[in-house]
Amino acid sequence: MNWLKGFWLKIGIIIIAIFGLSAPVPAEEEKIKELEEKVEILAEEIEKMKVFELIPELGKEGRYGFGPAASKVYGIGKGISLAGYGEIFARFFDKNEQFNFNPSSATDTLTHLRDDSDMLRFVIYAGYKFTDSIVFNSEIEFEHAKTSAGPDTSAGEVSVEFAYLDFLTHPAFNIRGGLLLIPVGIVNELHESPTYHGVFRPETEQVIIPTTWRENGVGIFGEIVPGLEYRLYTVAGLVTNSRSTTGNATLKFTHDSGIRGGRQQGVRSITEDMAYTARVDYRGIPGTLVGASIYTGNAHLPAGNNLPDTSVGITLWDAHLKAEYQGFELRALYASGEIDDAQEINKRANIRLASDTTVDGRWSERSIGEKFYGYYVEGAYDVIPLFWPGSIRYFAPFVRYEKYDTQDGVPSGYRDLSETEREVKTVGISFKPHPNINIKADYQAKDDFLSDQYNLGLSWMF
Amino acid sequence: MKKGLLFFLYFIIAFTWPASLLAKVYVTKEEALKFAFQEVDTIDKKVVFLSGEEQKRVELLAKAKLDTRIFTFYIGKKGENILGYAVFGSHVVRTKPEVYMVVINPDATIKNVHILAFHEPEEYLPPRRWFEQFVGRVLDDALWPKRGIRAVSGATLSVNGITQEIRKALAVFQLMLLKER
């Protein structure tokens, strides 16, 4: 009987089809029209769901120079936002020992180098959007995994790297106050490890520009015309040495690590001396960012060696460029600094003049540099688009050359230590299986008195 | 001391500054279409339903996977002259969507591309100027990031995503609308 059912059904369809084609019954024509209309409505509803219901009221939020993870708070609606980044490395030294001239003892000292691996940074960003125009953002960083010391190593630390409130008043004029990142160089504000090549930050941006550099302050920022961004802050100044009313002061600024030790980092910052810092970036040409920044003001010079509290002027500026074309990437930075009356700092730590015959003349090589500079040029090429266009993966070999000197000039009467002028050549790869994960490997060739090293790194942000 | 005081005053002023409300922009479909076709008299609509076979052909041409088989094209006309075709769509950038409008010229070149909504942090959104490079482009092997299309550092997912969406819109247009004419 089943075949019979099928047979009659087929006949029925044929009859309907014939009648339908030759002379459709008005009721059926209407039905088709009705169906077509329903399909149209469905398509419209689907489009509405897929497209038009996703269009919110768009705010006028800019990017203001921060790294992608750090700026997450700007993108959310009201409430809490959470983001983060981290990096872990392993490094292997070419030589297990290196001789360094140590001006503090006027002798060569032997440093033992041991291969090591460190959970260098683990960072949580927490932000809160009070209203569309009042935003809080912060970064809490764990360095070296633990705050207690290892068997033979120094302790890690937990710090608030930045914590500030933004009052967004106008795209071109907004106010920011709190613990701020000093807007100098490329890496200081954009310091998430996946965003740069190399397991370690360029040394110029560790020593000459002391990243991660932050200080309590207040300022304004915004975008004047599309692509032209600025920031202008007033912050607590640097401190050159620790205060000593009885004997010699211990230096925070040093001959070979520059101003790095002088950062107060918002820890009970002395505000007797203030500094001003400004930055301008232009993103007008697609794929490029070109900009410059300056940090200028007074550094606090506490008492030491029976000399009173005073202050010295300090200025550090940089010019930077980032460019991308097809798979090519270029990064270049030049930074230069100057300290007025650097001999005043030397005096408080009792660094003798080269002419002082009571001590070894080489002691004067400990002098603070009154001028310092650093630069690097870096090129990379992402090969993935050659083979897999449209892939989100990234594999780029890169090379970087850099040179810096923390003692490009010393105050008259002091000697210059030649070993503070350093050259670093880095060659390596960045592999990103996802744009926010960077697996790195590189080789760094350093000056003869230092050891070359191989580095491996794993970094992420979210 | 004086400077410290100045600093303090600066703080007070900054923190009590009246934070005015931001200007809001709200783009409706009508506004977007008006923007896409500035001199048209009428806007017709054509809904394209792809069969399984057609889907495969579109994917082959676009070199990208489709996640929908329905495409609505808005056809801008001045008299009998077709000025262009607009298609709307959305895709997920990381975890949140982006809404776009692609406007195609009758000769299958891109007239322009507009982002109507972006739910990820704006850091991931390429600047407006970046989208201008699509103007006049056709569906070919150069229409990929880091080939004929510039990349944007920090916006890889949105750059790759929107490029694929544009390729799909062009492929559907070429196979389903261009052939019909």
Which SS3 state, helix, strand or coil, does residue B3 take? helix
What is the residue type of B130?
Answer: W
Q: Which two tokens stand for residue B109?
A: 């070149």
pLDDT tens for chain A, 462 residues: list them. 455 556 666 676 666 666 555 555 678 899 999 998 898 889 888 888 888 777 765 433 333 555 556 666 666 666 788 889 999 999 999 998 887 777 767 677 888 889 999 999 999 999 998 988 899 999 999 999 999 887 778 889 999 999 999 999 999 999 999 999 999 999 999 999 999 999 999 999 999 999 999 999 999 999 999 889 999 999 999 999 998 888 888 999 999 999 999 999 999 999 999 999 999 999 888 789 999 999 999 999 999 999 999 999 999 999 999 999 889 999 999 999 999 999 999 999 888 898 888 888 788 899 999 999 999 999 999 999 999 998 989 999 999 999 999 999 999 999 999 889 999 999 999 999 999 999 999 999 999 889 999 999 999 998
Cβ-Cβ pairs closer than 8 A, A with B, add up to 175
Residue A442 lies in a domain: yes
pLDDT value for A447: 92
On whether any CB of chain B is under 8 Å from the CB of A43, the answer is: yes
Contacts of A394 in chain B (CB under 8 A): 156
Indicate whether A210 belongs to any domain: yes
Question: Is 80 exceeded by the pLDDT of residue B110?
Answer: yes
Q: Which of chain B's residues have a Cβ under 8 Å away from the Cβ of A325?
A: 150
Residue A39: list chain B partners with CB under 8 A. Answer: 47
The helix (H) or strand (E) run that includes residue A34 is helix A26-50
Shared-domain flag, residues A344 and A257: yes
The answer to whether the CB atoms of A218 and B11 lie below 8 A apart is yes
Confirm if B151 and B159 have CB atoms less than 8 A apart. Answer: yes
* SS3 call for B52: helix
By CA distance, what is B96's nearest residue in A? A54
Say yes or no: A299 and A245 in one domain.
Answer: yes
- Confidence at residue A69, expressed as pLDDT on a 0 to 100 scale: 63
Please report whether residue A123 resides in a domain: no
Domain extents in chain B: 18-180
Q: Let me know if residue A151 belongs to a domain.
A: no
Tokens of A250: 């211990």
> Domain containing A446 — which CATH number?
2.40.160
A192 touches B: beta carbon within 8 Å? no
Residue window 151-170, chain B: list those with CB within 8 Å of chain A.
151-154, 156-157, 160, 163-164
Nearest to B7 among A57, A271, A385 (CB): A271
Q: Which pLDDT belongs to residue A74? A: 65
Q: Does the beta carbon of B144 lie under 8 angstroms from any beta carbon of chain A? A: yes
Contact with chain A for residue B2, Cβ under 8 A:
no
| CB nearest B157 (choices: A76, A134, A435) | A435
Among A residues 322-351, those touching chain B with beta carbons less than 8 Å apart: 322, 324-327, 329
Segment 76-115 of chain B within 8 Å of chain A by CB: 88-90, 97, 99
Whether residue A118 lies inside any domain: the answer is: no
Distance CA B22, CA A169 (A): 7
User: Which residues in chain A touch residue B47, judged by CB atoms under 8 angstroms apart?
Assistant: 39-40, 43
Judged against a pLDDT cut of 80, whether residue B10 lies above it is answered with no
CA distance A116 to chain B (A): 31
Instruction: Find residues 33-62 of chain B whose CB sits inside 8 Å of chain A.
Output: 47
Query: How far apart are the CA of B127 and the nearest CA of chain A, in angstroms?
Result: 8
Q: Is residue A374 part of a domain?
A: yes
Q: How far is B79 from chain A (nearest CA, A)?
A: 24
Give the β-pairing of A328-339 and B42-49: unpaired
Cβ A225 vs Cβ A280: under 8 Å: no
> Does residue B72 have a cis peptide bond before it, meaning omega lies within 30 degrees of 0?
no
Closest Cβ opposite residue B22 in set A51, A133, A287? A133
Q: What is the pLDDT of residues B23-50, one digit of tens each?
A: 334 467 788 888 888 888 899 999 999 9
CA distance B135 to B29: 21
Number of structural domains (chain A) is: 2
What is the reported pTM?
A: 0.81
Whose tokens are 């100057």? That residue is A338
Give the structural domain span for A25: 1-52
User: Does pLDDT of B20 surpass 80?
Assistant: no
CA A4 to each of CA A13, A15, A17: distance values in angstroms, whole numbers, following the listed order: 14, 16, 20
Q: Does B21 touch chain A (CB under 8 A)?
A: yes
Which parts of A320-450 fold into alpha helices (H)? 342-348, 384-387
CB of A57 within 8 Å of any CB in chain B? yes
Contact B25 A57 (CB under 8 A): yes
**Helices within chain B (DSSP H only):** 2-16, 29-36, 52-62, 128-132, 156-172
